[in-house]
Amino acid sequence: MQLSAIKQSFSVKYEYQLLFTQGVFHIDNSIFVDTIATYKPNEAVKVFFVIDKGLSDAHPDILMQIEAYCKSHSNQLKHTQSIVLDGGEQSKNSSESIEAVLKGINDNAICRHSFVIAIGGGALIDMAGYAAAIAHRGVKLIRIPTTVLSQNDAAVGVKNSVNIFNKKNFLGTFAPPFAIINDSNFLKTLEQRDWISGVSEAIKVALIKDKTFFKYIAENAIAIKNRDMEVMHYVIYKCAEMHMHHISQGGDPFESGSSRPLDFGHWAAHKMEYMTNYSLRHGEAVAKGIALDVTYAHLVGLISKADLKHILKVLLVIGFDLSLPLSSTLETEELLGGIQEFREHLGGELTITLISGIGIKHDVHTIDMGLMSQAITNLNQYAAINQ
């Protein structure tokens, strides 16, 4: 008897929201408890907190605030435990952090109807989100990002990941969070390098999608550097909006294809992070990666010299160091090897996003290694003169 193939298809609707507030754990601020209540109204839900040590150092009362907040809203929140873990990229490089989150989920009987609350920078949120996604095949996650980069980029997407085999984001999942809550109060205690670091992601998305947004960043570059909160609020909001719109409307939310425009500047950034043992912040590396790719784009005739100089000047005014951390020919070759690693990460055909004008994305499928080497030399010469 000949048996025919059985075929079936189904679709799953995903929905999540990004909320904005100040003082998320102030007793009279209901945004957090109201968010939980949208899942199970009038029923206490278990919440397990994973907190970035950098945040707890800057806000030493955060643990007491969380406990008091949950106690005040005990009809809706059942606080189980708050654990503090080292943040930064190193949190994604070791299994110890993942195991600590998984142990907390297990010890506190966090199930698929409970919540993991990840509070911190993008790396810790990535790691905690990965652990939440693999526990019980996925427990609910609320992200409370506390840096510019996490509020405008890392925490607003649908990806979670950790590093292994000396490769960034080699292990990961696509698992949308239940919600993201941006609290602008957390930005006030950031170091200057963390204040500007995340702006590179806003520059990235503006360069590939929105000339008007890039114009705003350029006109407010000094205000950004000087920590103008109103300007930063808009930069974060607009960048996050554009990222979330790309995910929902770009046609490839789980990145099945080879084109990833939101990774503009990232092939070099990922490699430089690894080569510097992650002493470079992700946003700092992205700024360098963008600078390198626009320098290359000019060499291959995609953008004018005027546009190149304008983009590099904006990065410099904000405060980015554009020099590449390369001290030998071998290190240059190692960086260039990041192009092949990026292709492997994408799968299939090499696709590198460049620009053919400010606000105009342009994908290429081959890289002239000679010209990319020249771009490295040109950028380092430019950085040495202008830093």
Where do the structural domains in the chain lie, given as residue ranges?
Answer: 17-189, 200-242+259-386
CB of 365 within 8 A of CB of 293? Answer: no
Fold classification of 17-189 is: Rossmann fold (3.40.50)
pLDDT of residue 252: 65
pLDDT of residue 257: 57
Short-list 142, 157, 132, 369, CA closest to 245: 157
- One-letter amino acid at 376 equals I
pLDDT of residue 64: 97
**Separation CA 302–CA 294 (nearest Å):** 9
Q: Which portions of the chain are predicted below pLDDT 50?
A: 258
How does DSSP classify residue 24? T
pLDDT of residue 251: 66
Q: Counting Cβ atoms within 10 Å, is residue 268 exposed (0-12), middle (13-18) or buried (19+)?
A: buried
Architecture in CATH of 200-242+259-386: Up-down Bundle (1.20)
Structure tokens at 201: 């992601």
- One-letter amino acid at 213 equals F
pLDDT of residue 6: 93
Handedness of CA 135, 20, 239, 124 (dihedral sign): negative
For the chain, how many residues are written? 387
pLDDT of residue 207: 98
Q: Counting Cβ atoms within 10 Å, is residue 218 exposed (0-12), middle (13-18) or buried (19+)?
A: middle
**Separation CA 17–CA 49 (nearest Å):** 19
Strands 360-364 and 352-357: antiparallel
